[in-house]
Amino acid sequence: MDFWGTVRVLRRRWYIALPAVLLTGILALYVYISVPTRYESSGVLVLTSPAAGGRYTANTKPEDVVRVNPLLQFDGSLTTTAQILTQVLGDPKTAEELAGKGSTSVYTANTGPVGGPLLFITTESDSAESAEGLVGKVLEKTVAELAAQQKALNAPEQTFITAQILVKPTTASAKIGGKVRYVGAATVVLLLLTLASTFAADSILLRAKRRKDKEAKDGKDAKDPAPSEKETTPQPVPPIRPGPPHNGNGGAPQRPMPQGIPNAHQKTVIIAAPKPDPAWPTKDD
């Protein structure tokens, strides 16, 4: 069915389509209200090398140690350390420890598109306070995990890589994209159901109407039976003989008589003979 055919069906069955559309709007609004609003917050860590470098000698006096700017020592080792921390934070046990068991709050940790010594933390929660608080927990966990990993490797404390909070937990912002997607999906499904129900009702009603009209026609035919063959067959009309011409005296011509039907002068009256009376003498007597 084309577009205009659909429009004609909807117009013909407006009393079905209109309530369905109103119900679709109500359900879409209910979905928008029922789906909780998610809030998002984020933070950034940067890993830096120690000022004295990655090597340490106990016999070297502190004043003799060559110090450099840690921001000038971003090498591949810091990127590798950041990737190690993302793997630790991605562990389900660590996520359950930070977000809480059965919580709807989630977080992600990655090195971003650059893949350098930056660690990006993003959280989502049902409330702004929970989202911001979870960012703080993840940042603290990252700093503690970095120190624990270096101690586990027996690295000299003077060579520890440090994690600096570059961006503190941002103010949580509402994310309505998920709600809009849910509402859009629900609206499309409900509109399809509206069209399907309208076409189904139109088909059922048209079928019922045709059946009702057929039953009414059959009932009318039963009350008025068809005429018999004798009544419908035309009877032959006998030909009319032309009458005699005028008699010359101005009299009206005689009315022609139908052929085959005798007039008063042509009729022959047949009278039955009387039976003989037995009292009268006969020839034999």
Express each pLDDT in 222-263 by its tens digit. 666 555 555 555 666 666 665 555 555 555 555 555 555 555
Q: What mean pLDDT value characterizes the chain?
A: 78
Structure token digits, residue 170: 């941002």
Structure token digits, residue 122: 């993003």
Contact 132, 172 (CB under 8 A): yes
Question: For residue 183, which phi and psi values (nearest 5 degrees)?
Answer: -65, -40
Strands 173-175 and 162-167: unpaired
| Better pLDDT: 209 or 266 | 209
Contact 86, 114 (CB under 8 A): no
Average pLDDT over residues 83-92: 91
DSSP assigned state of 66: -
Question: Could you give the CA distance from residue 123 to residue 140 in angstroms, rounded to a whole number?
Answer: 14
Per-residue pLDDT of 95-138, as tens digits, reads 999 988 888 899 999 998 877 789 999 999 988 999 999 999 99
- Domain 37-55+66-174 sits in which CATH superfamily? EIF_2_alpha (3.30.70.1130)
Domain boundaries, given as residue ranges, for the chain: 37-55+66-174, 176-210
User: For residue 49, how many other CB atoms are within 10 A of its CB?
Assistant: 23
Q: Count how many residues are written for the chain.
A: 285
Contact 112, 120 (CB under 8 A): yes
Question: Could you give the CA distance from residue 214 to residue 102 in angstroms, rounded to a whole number?
Answer: 65
Tell me if residue 28 falls in helix, strand or coil.
helix
